Each structure stands twice: as structure tokens, then as C-alpha cells.
């Protein structure tokens, strides 16, 4: 798996581990790559969190990123390279490991506090949002930009996005909208908001705590928290329009509802939302909407199993090669002008969408298998 790990940083240094009494501080350490998740990082995090589950000396885990990002996503350029080399199974193996990690974090018996001081996108959300405590700051920027890459919001996003208020999750997942720390707190992606200059003090206070009790940990974070003010133009102040439009049954219906709203009055936010949807991969939009809608009625494990099927279909490129094209246009050539195929929503048929949710027709392929998790705390069992 060497092609997934060429980062300029020794593999054993991509996740820094600090032992502080009953706490463990994990630092994602690929700052030049904005801490994008590599295969090495996924493997190391999976190893660490698995060991913490059975280690009575570990009562709390703090996760943070080095530099100006918490984590800007998975290493999708490496995945695209694997596909171009006709090695889609390498990409599938990466996703299998990553989704297994997401499941472990979602069902962990040890409280996780993620300090989201910077960029949190894609895979970065996967290693934080599933944890019990998510601390945003004035520097936080959250997004799930996958539809602009020809992919879909994964790493368990189809579990947590539909559990945001109303249809805000559909809005975030389809448009790739960027949210600041105040918006993250308001919509529930963050549990607390702490000014960045107080994070060091918060970290010290957490490390002094000899407890796994969520109520005590929450009270500690509360001492450093404040309530931020949503800016006037925040999308979260548009919940009435978002619910009216993004509750529609199809992507075409959502766009039509937004365009109807745009005719009523001049509104830059609506115009921008329409542009974002029209720039995204039509195939990605359709499979993403279905994924989020199915996630409303599924637990975290079921969502990850379904997402693994979808990711494997994306990697194989039999229905659409939009993922390769999106990576080319946004990450490699950077011309920001992807040529999607199919190019229009109406050309993406229900049968094409259905294939992303079906088993892979390959004798060597199998569904993601997640281990049963008995004796879990209430916060974890509620996700199952």
C-alpha cells in the first residue's frame, strides 16, 4: 500500500501519541497535506482506539490536528491513482479500513473529545463527528464537498447528516456548503464552542480529569465554552427555505423548488445554492440524496455497510467515472472544470442509481463486515 503513504513524514509520525495520566492525546500530523487521512493514519488510529477499548488506564481520548487543519479529508488523490492503475481493490481496502474505524469511533466506550480548530472535511468528519464531544472554534470550517468530486458524503455521513434539524443535512451533503464554528454548534455537528486561545487550557483540564463520565467531561468543556453569534447571512438562518426545498423527493424537485424561490425575490444565497448544485456531478447528487434519505431509517453500522457498497461502485467506475474526472479537475489539473458523464440530472436514470446500492458482481468481493459491539454505553447503543 506504499502509494497511499508517500507524505514526506515517517509513517510512525503521522499520528502522534501523548500519554497524560488517564488521557491519550492523538495528533494528526500531516500539516502540509492539511492532515488528509492516509492509509497509514487510518491503520494507526484503528490500532490505537481498539487497544483503548480494553485498557482500563485509558479513560478519555483527545484528537486534534497539527497546523491550520483538523483534517481536510481522505487522501482521495491516492484513491484516484489506484483506480487509474486498475487497482480499484486497493481503494476498496482503504475504504474498508476507514469505515471500520468510523464504526469503532461511533460505538466506542471511551469518550472522545475532538478539537476541531481549523478545516474539517470529508474523512476528517469521519474521525470526529462520530465521537461524543466535538469542540468547534472561530477557526473551524466544516464541509462535505464530495458531490463536487464525483463522490458522495461517506464515512458515516449518511447517518449523522439526516439527524441534523429538518433537512439541513440534505442541504449540507448535496451542496458541499461550508459551515463555520457557530453554524456547527447551532446545527449539532459540534457539541461545544471554545475560543481557540483557550484550547490549551481545556486540554490541560481534560488531562487532569480521572473520569470517563460524559457529564463530568461535558462540564469541564462547558467551563471554557461560550455561545457564538450566527452571522446574519448564515444558511442556518434559512431553515424555512431549506426545509421547504430540500425536503422534496428528487434532486430535480429540489432544484425546481429553489428556482421557484429565486423568482420571488433576489437572494444571493439561493442563487449560490443553485449554482453549487448545478456544478456538482449529477450522478453524485442522485446517489447522495438517496443515501441520506435511507440513512434516516438506518443505524450507524447499516449506513457504513451501504456506503461501502457505494464507494466500491464509485471506485470501479462502471456506471460513471465522475470520481476520476472530479479528482482530475479539482485536485490534479486544477482547471475546476469537470466534464461530468452523464452531464445532466435527467440522464441519470433510476436504474443507474440503483446499481450503486447493489452488491458488487465480483467473486472476490464481499460486503463490509462489522463486529458486534456488546456492553456499550447508552451513547453508543443509541446509534445501533
Q: 73-86: per-residue pLDDT in tens?
A: 988 777 777 777 77
* Residues in contact with 275: Cβ distance below 8 Å, sequence separation at least 6, in sequence order: none
Report the pLDDT averaged over residues 270-298: 98
Confirm whether 368 is domain-assigned: no
Confirm whether 297 is domain-assigned: yes
Measure the CA–CA gap between 210 and 216, rounded to whole angstroms.
10
| Res 248: pLDDT | 98
If 0-12 CB within 10 Å is exposed, 13-18 middle and 19+ buried, where does residue 230 land?
A: middle
Measure the CA–CA gap between 72 and 37, rounded to whole angstroms.
8
Confirm whether 80 is domain-assigned: yes
Domain count, the chain: 1
| Res 2: pLDDT | 33
CB 340 within 8 A of CB 193: no
Confirm whether 372 is domain-assigned: no
Measure the CA–CA gap between 168 and 161, rounded to whole angstroms.
8
Q: 18-45: per-residue pLDDT in tens?
A: 999 999 999 999 999 999 999 999 999 9
Written as nine digits, the cell of 92 is: 476498496
CB 359 within 8 A of CB 367: yes
Confirm whether 5 is domain-assigned: no
Give me the active site residues, please: 74, 123, 146, 154
pTM of the model: 0.95
Domain that holds residue 286: 14-359
Measure the CA–CA gap between 153 and 255, rounded to whole angstroms.
19
Helix (H, G, I), strand (E, B) or coil at 209: coil
**Position 278 pLDDT exceeds 60:** yes
Q: 104-117: per-residue pLDDT in tens?
A: 999 999 999 999 99
Amino acid at each position: 500500500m506504499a502509494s497511499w503513504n508517500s507524505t514526506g513524514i515517517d509513517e510512525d509520525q503521522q499520528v502522534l501519541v501523548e500519554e497524560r495520566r488517564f488521557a491519550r492525546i492523538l495528533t494528526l500530523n500531516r500539516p502540509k497535506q492539511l492532515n488528509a487521512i492516509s492509509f497509514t493514519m487510518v491503520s494507526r488510529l484503528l490500532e490505537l482506539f481498539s487497544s483503548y477499548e480494553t485498557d482500563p488506564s485509558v479513560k478519555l481520548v483527545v484528537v486534534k490536528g497539527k497546523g491550520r487543519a483538523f483534517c481536510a479529508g481522505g487522501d482521495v488523490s491516492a484513491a484516484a491513482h489506484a483506480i487509474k492503475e486498475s487497482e480499484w481493490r486497493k481503494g476498496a481496502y482503504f475504504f474498508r479500513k476507514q469505515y471500520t474505524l468510523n464504526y469503532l469511533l461511533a460505538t466506542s466506550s471511551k469518550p472522545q473529545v475532538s478539537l476541531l480548530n481549523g478545516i474539517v472535511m470529508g474523512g476528517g468528519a469521519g474521525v470526529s463527528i462520530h465521537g461524543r464531544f466535538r469542540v468547534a472554534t472561530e477557526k473551524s470550517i466544516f464541509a462535505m464537498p464530495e458531490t463536487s468530486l464525483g463522490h458522495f458524503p461517506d464515512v458515516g455521513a449518511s447517518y449523522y447528516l439526516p439527524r441534523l434539524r429538518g433537512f439541513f443535512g440534505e442541504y449540507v451533503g448535496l451542496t458541499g456548503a461550508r459551515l463555520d464554528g457557530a453554524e456547527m454548534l447551532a446545527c449539532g455537528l459540534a457539541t461545544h464552542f471554545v475560543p481557540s486561545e483557550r484550547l490549551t487550557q481545556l486540554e490541560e483540564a481534560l488531562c487532569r480529569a480521572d473520569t470517563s463520565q460524559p457529564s463530568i467531561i461535558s462540564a469541564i468543556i462547558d467551563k471554557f465554552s461560550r455561545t457564538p453569534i450566527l452571522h446574519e447571512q448564515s444558511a442556518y438562518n434559512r431553515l424555512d427555505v431549506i426545509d421547504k426545498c430540500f425536503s422534496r423527493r428528487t434532486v430535480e424537485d429540489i432544484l425546481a423548488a429553489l428556482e421557484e424561490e429565486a423568482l420571488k425575490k433576489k437572494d444571493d444565497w439561493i442563487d449560490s445554492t443553485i449554482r453549487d448544485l448545478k456544478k456538482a456531478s449529477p450522478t453524485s447528487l442522485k446517489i447522495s440524496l438517496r443515501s441520506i434519505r435511507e440513512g434516516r431509517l438506518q443505524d450507524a453500522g447499516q449506513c457504513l455497510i451501504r456506503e461501502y457498497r457505494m464507494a466500491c461502485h464509485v471506485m470501479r467506475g462502471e456506471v460513471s467515472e465522475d470520481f476520476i474526472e472530479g479528482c482530475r479537475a479539482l485536485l490534479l489539473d486544477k482547471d475546476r472544470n469537470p466534464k461530468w458523464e452523464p452531464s445532466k440530472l435527467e440522464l441519470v436514470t433510476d436504474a443507474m442509481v440503483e446499481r450503486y446500492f447493489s452488491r458488487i458482481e465480483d467473486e472476490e468481493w464481499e460486503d463490509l463486515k462489522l463486529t458486534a459491539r456488546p456492553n456499550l454505553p447508552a451513547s453508543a447503543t443509541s446509534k445501533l
